[in-house]
Structure 1
């Protein structure tokens, strides 16, 4: 079976005409700096490329994003600042909120060792780290207990993520044995300069304010712009939202969206000249479009072989059909659709009944709710939904209208039963 995907199916305005031409190596430096979480000296040519263009890169971000490039003899990193609480992309290696909490506590532990004068000895035992995190987080409502398998898996994923960035070095032991609670199992790690480059000063007042905003049961279906960025100019907020992805929604920040509409040609020209990307401006959102296969970043939004990817696209199609058939009411003035979780679950069941035979054995054997939770995660990663939240709703974003998919039966007389993805739209994809 083949899955046919039709992207870019709604009318829009694709901007990308530029009279400016930047050197190819400078464009590459811009893309590398933005798409990579950090660049290390051991990466050789890429490190030297960004280092060579540092002043031009920093000047561009001073004008457009307000982000600072942090650099040393070993690490270069673009310090991004949010324009909203929900940029959209997730990292597959950090799956749950507690994974991110563990990562934050690990970086706190690294900084604490520096401040306590142990900066020359960056080695530590995993058991000591877990003990410190558990003690420090004790007063928090989401306190850790590393006797629980879930919390042990969270700290393992956070450590693996940091190790993958080069922020940790494994000295001795195996984390999987500690997670499995093998008797006397422990792991010796060592922090590197990369970990220190990731440590940021937190303003407690901002953290408290953000926590209060997110504590609202209906926060997931409300505009995600946070009040602490209210002093940032509209156009800078727009650049941040576009570059962080997946889109700038009118729903989140009307003023920034109006700024994009007013300066669309200038933004499109700058985007094409600087990164080689296009601006796609719609009625309810704006996003970046670039050639397929050009992604150097840590996240690939869609893959041709992932069952969850296919289900997510089929759900986007089913949502469209519900609206076209008048079963669900249409989107609101911001292009968003508020759907009860019960209705989404029922829609998923119908999609599973219709297409489930095309999915892999693992997906077919799982419970519907467990599979749906993973599909929700993929759809959040794609930037087409938010939620489900405590309010019992899912917010379907206007970007869901970009996708339409179905399965195509193999030609008569063939034995091909492999599910593949083929793009029927433009050879571009949304960032």
Structure 2
């Protein structure tokens, strides 16, 4: 842009020298006016380019796949492909796969606790089905049937059921006569269909899941499945799965490099690259998990914060024991896990954070360790949650009020783990509260009685007050 401006200005100045007569006094203002227009034009172009590039970066980060049917977005990312890839080469080490039909940012983890959540996949067996479907697609390619992209759902189910029973873990086996397993594979297939990796050719998956007589479904793999399969590493998945399913290691640091050791040397990456990966995938970079990457981030805080703002329009928040990305309300369009004041589980999680802070401040619970983590037990959490339910339970929805406290607390555990507020419980009943829990403080406020406009009846309204980030922590 600067070169274009200089060329344009030079050509105007040169042209003026040949046309201007000696003694003419009106030429100088004309030159100044023209130069001003060029300045504004160049500035406008630069702003447009910056805005487009930021939009491309965010889309690539927050969408699993960008399909060619998303015409404008597909063209935008294609147009800036080399700039986008250069940025990731320098910061994350991720590569961008692109074809005539799809573009995808292939992400690699640095920790086993990413903050991305997919509504379609709700249960562990949903993810297991997704993994088996990718295995099935890869197996078809390896056996030379990759060009035959169509398959019957009944054939897929038979293959998964047969292969899953060959393992030693009976809990991991699938029996698609069970409705729960049929619904799990239905959700996994729908997820891949939403990505554009599958196309429904004939039949209704719902009828098959409900075991309608003679129901079957014909699917077809698309080119997107090749991208997913190429990034699929069954050996890596097996090692990580064994680690995260070990109840004795639930509270341990989640740095992937430490888990894998020398099994996958390629995973040894620079600390600042690990910091970028963990920040972008979320939900938080903990000093507890990766002290080396955290120290590198602290040393380059200004540089990373400026780059993050210019590239994505996001803010970097660095505290003593953790760092995370802060997105403005409504900016996130991707599957990023966050708390909102609308869901009952979210409200309960925020109320628990407030109560935990009070317990620690009063001395009822132990002080945080050197990494800012608080170590307690399930008995402590049970007692605290029962107290909260007695105090605030009437504000929760009918479904929550009809559940038992233990079931509700399990929902709270799940939510707090997803958002990066808690680890555990482990097999011994230990729970670790992460320093990020101090970010949230919430309460219900009684607004008093208000007169309805349409009648004489009065009602009491309750609102959830969220003061925002508590910087005193």
TM-score, normalised relative to structure 2 = 0.81
> Deviation string for 1:119-169 (max 9, x for gaps)?
333222211111101111222211212222322222122112112212222
The 5 Å alignment of 1:269-418 reads 269-299=306-336, 301-414=338-451, 415=458
Task: Give the conservation status (yes or no) of the 8 Å contact 1:99–1:158.
Answer: yes
Q: Does 1:167 align with 2:210?
A: no
The 5 Å alignment of 1:28-427 reads 28-140=55-167, 141=169, 142-203=172-233, 206-226=236-256, 227=258, 228=260, 231-299=268-336, 301-414=338-451, 415=458, 421=464, 423-425=466-468
Greater gyration radius? 2
Consecutive unaligned residues in structure 1, runs of 5 or more: 1-19
> Deviation string for 1:190-217 (max 9, x for gaps)?
2222222211355565445434433432
Distance 1:175 1:346, change over 3 A: farther
Q: Structure 2: how far apart are the matches of 1:335 and 1:204?
A: 35
- SS of residue paired to 2:177: coil
Task: Give the conservation status (yes or no) of the 8 Å contact 1:89–1:380.
Answer: no
CA RMSD of aligned residues (A): 2.2
> Deviation string for 1:373-394 (max 9, x for gaps)?
2222221221111222323222
Q: Structure 2: how far apart are the matches of 1:416 and 1:126?
A: 54
Distance 1:203 1:43, change over 3 A: closer
Distance 1:405 1:416, change over 3 A: farther
- SS of residue paired to 1:70: strand
Which range moves more in the overlay, 288-297 or 220-229?
Answer: 220-229
Greater percentage in helix: 2
Q: Structure 1: how far apart are the matches of 2:133 and 2:113?
A: 23
Distance 1:293 1:211, change over 3 A: closer
> Deviation string for 1:343-400 (max 9, x for gaps)?
2122222111111100111111112222222222221221111222323222211111
Q: Which residue of 2 aligns with 1:14?
A: none
Distance 1:67 1:421, change over 3 A: farther
Q: Structure 2: how far apart are the matches of 1:191 and 1:54?
A: 26
Cα deviation, residue 337, structure 1: 1.7
- SS of residue paired to 2:174: coil
How many residue pairs match? The answer is: 408
Cα deviation, residue 224, structure 1: 0.5
Which range moves more in the overlay, 173-182 or 286-295?
Answer: 173-182
Which range moves more in the overlay, 114-123 or 248-257?
Answer: 114-123
Consecutive unaligned residues in structure 2, runs of 5 or more: 1-45, 261-265, 452-457
TM-score, normalised relative to structure 1 = 0.89
Distance 1:417 1:177, change over 3 A: farther
